[in-house]
Amino acid sequence: MTSVLAAVIATIVTVPLLGWYVIYLTSVKISKNKSKSLRRASDWTTVLFMMAVYFILIELWDQSFGWLILAIFFLIAFFVTWIQWKVSGDIQTNKLFKGIWRFNFLFFVILYLLLSGFGLISRIFS
């Protein structure tokens, strides 16, 4: 049983799009609200995409880039905070944390897709 659970977790971390899709479908079935389910699935899988990017970077270049992922996360947090302060003149923490989290989701999804494509192409030609 533990090996099956480990295989499921490894698959979801390796292929976070699958995890996102499962969470999205489950949420749609429960809430019947597609836009809320889209946001919920995105919020819950941000960490999966960050972990997938981390492991892809290790696989491609045989180095750990955990420090770079954390630096990017905090750099995005800084810029989102600065933009909210400039636009509204006030920092609303709830909106700020949602903005940081969702912008990180978008960034790491794009990075995941780019690195996956790069890794696939580089393995084909090597």
| 53 and 76 Cβ atoms separated by less than 8 Å | no
* Domain of 21, in residue numbers: 2-124
* Total count of domains within the chain: 1
d(CA 101, CA 97): 6
For residues 83-109, average pLDDT: 94
Q: For residue 33, what are the CA distances in angstroms to 30, 42, 67, 103?
A: 8, 14, 37, 22
- Provide, rounded to the nearest whole percent, the portion of the chain with pLDDT above 90: 79
5-32: pLDDT as tens digits: 777 767 777 789 998 999 999 999 999 9
pTM value?
A: 0.88
For residues 66-89, average pLDDT: 95
Beta-carbon contacts of 21 under 8 Å, excluding residues fewer than 6 positions away, are: 41
- The answer on pLDDT for 1 being more than 70 is no
